[in-house]
A and B are shown apart, each in its own frame.
Chain A
Amino acid sequence: MIDFIIEHAVVWPVAVPITAAALAAMFWLRQDIQRLVSMVGLVLMLGASLLLLVTVMQDGVQARQFGSWAAPFGISFAADLLSAAMVMITGVLAVAVGVFGLADIRKREEHSGFHPLFLGMLTSVNGAFLTGDIFNLYVWFEIMLITAMGLLVLGKTRAQLDGTLKYAVLNLFSTLLFLLAVAILYGATGSLNMADLSRILATTEPSAALTLSAALFLAGFGIKAGYFPLFFWLPASYHTASITISAIFAGLLTKVGVYACFRVFTLMFEIEGSGLREAMVVIAAGTMLFGVFGAAVQWDVRRILSFHIVSQIGYMLLGLAIATPLAIAGAVFYIVHHIIVKANLFLVAGAIYRATGTYDLRKSGGLMRTNPLLAALFLIPAISLAGLPPLSGFWAKFLVIDASFQGGENWLAAVALFVGVLTLYSMSKIWIEAFWKAPPGVRQTARPVPVLMLLPIAALGAITVTIGLSPEPFIQYAQAAAETLVNPEAYIVAVLGESAGPGVEIAFDPATASPIIIEESVQ
């Protein structure tokens, strides 16, 4: 039984939440049962992610074929160190946000289907992290888009409809570009399996079609991830949703786009020598700068944080653009750090709202005196986001900036440092306005913040502190993950099997519906 569970470790992180989503939908009229199903599902999903992480760390890349259709014809699921880390962090965040939601999500929103949609969204996020098939990735993106739109309009307010429209238009456009890229790539190579594509593209001459496909991938994922200059939909829509939903969006959804970029531009396309690198460098710098400038003029906590998502995404892209193993390791570390910190800040924003009744910084204040615990819990992710030692953000920024110096991109390192200073400005603005200054209104007493809100904030803060104080194992993990990304042989072998090295031709036998190897590799 245990062996069976471990053997299919790569299936559970998707199978568990989708089953929970289905069960939650089955109990549509019973919100109490839905809540129970949701909580049990989230905890089991966390367990499944932990199992996958341990299995991948011990036994290397895990791969599975669905329906016994052998790769590259069937749909493969594969998990390397990066996928496993992303799934793990999704599991942690899902539980934290789920618990926060118990205190924050209103009855009305539960009635509109919060639980099935939330679990469905987590399914698609994990699916996107684990799939080894580029078209299947597109399908997960679509499911993510549909469930995310459902979550955005849960409150049925005018502002939410407006935000959702912006979200839908830009994201539909992005998935369209992605689909176009997949179609061109399929036309040029005849395969959709990412490991197979990696094998084929390594020996294919560069052509206009492939360059176009790569550019479309970058644009499609770029919109999803919030890259400059197509990030404006993000701050326009994220703050309209309920704060629980904003937190999980802020933590995960853009990072799925970033992850897809990492997967495609390390496994399939070369960044070096294709002109992609120059484009990425400009986009990364633009993303960092415009995000942080946008945040500087905002007064709504959620909008400040939304713009900071954009700015932080730039650091991750910076790592990918420099493309040395060191830089990619830095970016992987950055993603993990950022997901926890950013979601945590949104949760703190929700707690500030609960205490003061407003998201507008000008109208809030005095929390330092009335709620010192919350003030302390805000400082951890805020300082970490700004990149001050000794918290996780310092190491993340240090790794990426160090890699840019070593990669000879001094001006990018300077931009990154400058953006760090401006981030500190934004965080101190929230600190001064919401916590430090005296409240402007007549109401002097803040409402108490429920324990169910403080608990996840404290837990995520504890993770941030842990990463900050003992970064060594996390950095080693990130370096190992970067190593498997830069040299994807292990990934390819795990998906396609040992026999499928270069020189093996695989044909499709229609009678038995299984692939047969025609010609053994000629060495």
Chain B
Amino acid sequence: MSSIIFSAMARLFFWAMLAVSIFILYRGHDEPGGGFVGGLVAACSVAILALADGVPSARGMIRVHPVILVGIGLVLAIVSGLPGLVLDASFLTHQWLEFPNGFKLGTTMIFDLGVYLVVFGGFLSLVFRLYEEVS
């Protein structure tokens, strides 16, 4: 099934949803959102692309194999716990960097990014396999 309208719209939706997913990821620390939901939305954005243009084209769009994303995400999540282990003597104790203007950056962000990638990659490998069986 290929439709020019769907294909064109899918491209639009792909970028929009990817942007929203990153916003959700960023928003997640104190408000509803976070890596898990963000990752799901991001995976949906690619899933739409896979529906419109087929799985090979969607695979080309993200370039790397989804499982590699899971691996990178897992490594990021583990790495985010290390500063706590070294500085505070407890794994996953998150450290914060505070800027003078009140902007805060913490290792939780790295952890959440890890979760984002794990969910993104894990969900995508599922979606790709299922769509491939159909087509």
Q: Does B17 contact A (CB under 8 A)?
A: no
Q: Is the Cβ of A27 less than 8 Å from the Cβ of B93?
A: no
Instruction: List chain A residues, Cβ under 8 A from B85.
Output: 8, 11
- B78 touching A19 by the CB < 8 A rule? yes
Task: Report Cα–Cα, A19/B74, bound state, in Å.
Answer: 8
Number of A-B contacts (CB under 8 A): 58
Q: How far is the CA of A11 from the CA of B85 in the complex (A)?
A: 10
Cβ-defined partner of A66 (8 Å) among B68, B72, B78, B91: B91
Contacts of B75 in A (CB 8 A): 19, 22-23, 26
Q: Mark B71-99, 1 if CB is under 8 A from A, else 0.
A: 11011001000001100111111100000
Known contacts A8-B85, A67-B84; decide if A26 and B92 are in contact (CB<8 Å). Answer: no
Min CB gap A364→B, angstroms: 38
Whether A28 and B74, one on each chain, are in contact in the complex, defined by CB atoms closer than 8 angstroms, is: no
B70 adjacent to A25 (CB under 8 Å)? yes
Q: Are A68 and B90 in contact (CB under 8 A)?
A: yes
Residue among B65, B71, B88, B89 with max Cβ neighbours from chain A (10 Å)? B71
Chain B residues with Cβ below 8 Å from A26 are 68, 71-72, 75
A113–B67 touching, CB < 8 Å? yes
Q: Is there an interface contact between A67 and B93, defined as CB atoms closer than 8 Å? A: yes
Residues of B within 8 A of A24 (CB): 71
How far, in whole Å, are A28 and B75 apart by their CA atoms in the complex?
Answer: 14
Q: B90 to A66, Cβ gap below 8 A?
A: yes
CB-defined contacts of B84 to chain A, threshold 8 Å:
67-68
Whether A25 and B93, one on each chain, are in contact in the complex, defined by CB atoms closer than 8 angstroms, is: no
Tell which of A15, A28, A64, A65 touches B78, judged by Cβ atoms closer than 8 Å: A15
A65 touches B71 (CB 8 A): no
Neighbouring B residues of A66 by C-beta, 8 Å? 90-93
Distance from B1 Cβ to chain A, minimum over Cβ atoms (Å): 28
Contact of A8 among B72, B78, B91, B94 (CB under 8 A): B91
Tell me whether chain B's interface is mostly helix, strand or loop, or mixed.
helix
Closest A residue to B114 using CB positions: A22
A68 pairs with B78, CB closer than 8 A: no
Give B72 Cβ to nearest chain A Cβ, in Å.
6
Let me know if A22 and B90 touch, CB within 8 A.
no
Flag whether A328 is at the interface (Cβ < 8 A): no
Flag if A18 contacts B78 (CB, 8 Å): yes
Report Cα–Cα, A22/B89, bound state, in Å.
23
Q: What's the Cα separation between A67 and B92 when bound, in Å?
A: 4
Q: Is the CB of A7 within 8 A of B89?
A: yes
A contact patch SS: helix
Task: Report B39 CB to chain A, min CB distance, Å.
Answer: 15
Q: Mark A7-40, 1 if CB is under 8 A from B, else 0.
A: 1100100010011011111111100000000000
Q: Indicate if A116 sits at the interface (CB-CB under 8 A).
A: yes
Q: How far apart are B84's CB and chain A's nearest CB, in angstroms?
A: 7
Taking the closest CB of chain A, its distance from the CB of B76, in whole angstroms, is 9
Q: Give the residue among A8, A15, A24, A25 with the most B Cβ atoms within 10 A.
A: A25
> Which parts of B74-132 form the interface with A (CB within 8 Å)?
74-75, 78, 84-85, 88-94
Chain A residue numbers with a CB within 8 Å of B70 are 25
B67 close to A68 (CB less than 8 A): no
For A113, list chain B residues within 8 Å (CB): 67
A68 to B65, CA, bound (A): 36
- Measured between beta carbons, the chain B residues less than 8 angstroms from A15 are 78, 91
Q: What separation, in Å, do the CA atoms of A451 and B84 have in the docked complex? A: 44
Chain B residues with CB under 8 Å of A8's CB are 85, 89, 91
Most B Cβ at <10 Å: residue of A15, A21, A64, A67:
A67
Whether B65 and A28, one on each chain, are in contact in the complex, defined by CB atoms closer than 8 angstroms, is: yes
- Per the bound structure, the CA–CA distance linking A66 and B78 in Å amounts to 12
Which residues A378-402 have CB closer than 8 A to chain B?
none
Q: Within the complex, what minimum Cβ distance (angstroms) separates B35 from chain A?
A: 15
Which residues of chain A come closer than 8 Å to B91, judged between CB atoms?
Answer: 8, 11, 15, 64, 66-67
Q: How far is the CB of B73 from chain A (nearest CB, A)?
A: 8
Measured CA separation A11–B84 after assembly (Å): 13
Given A28-B68, A29-B65, CB of A21 within 8 Å of CB of B88 = no
What separation, in Å, do the CA atoms of A429 and B72 have in the docked complex?
A: 50
Q: A8-B85, A18-B74, A28-B65 are in contact. List 17 more A-B contacts (CB 8 A).
A: A7-B89, A8-B91, A11-B91, A15-B78, A21-B74, A22-B71, A25-B71, A26-B72, A26-B75, A27-B71, A28-B68, A28-B71, A66-B90, A67-B91, A67-B92, A68-B93, A116-B67
Residues of B bordering A, CB below 8 Å: 65, 67-68, 70-72, 74-75, 78, 84-85, 88-94
28 CB < 8 A contacts A-B: A8-B85, A11-B85, A15-B78, A18-B74, A18-B78, A19-B78, A22-B71, A22-B72, A22-B75, A23-B71, A24-B71, A25-B68, A25-B71, A26-B68, A27-B68, A27-B71, A28-B65, A28-B67, A28-B68, A66-B91, A67-B84, A67-B90, A67-B91, A67-B92, A68-B90, A68-B93, A113-B67, A116-B71
Which 10 A-B residue pairs are closest in the complex by CB-CB distance? Answer: A25-B71, A26-B71, A22-B74, A68-B93, A67-B92, A28-B67, A68-B90, A22-B75, A28-B68, A28-B65
A interface with B by C-beta (< 8 Å): 7-8, 11, 15, 18-19, 21-29, 64-68, 113, 116
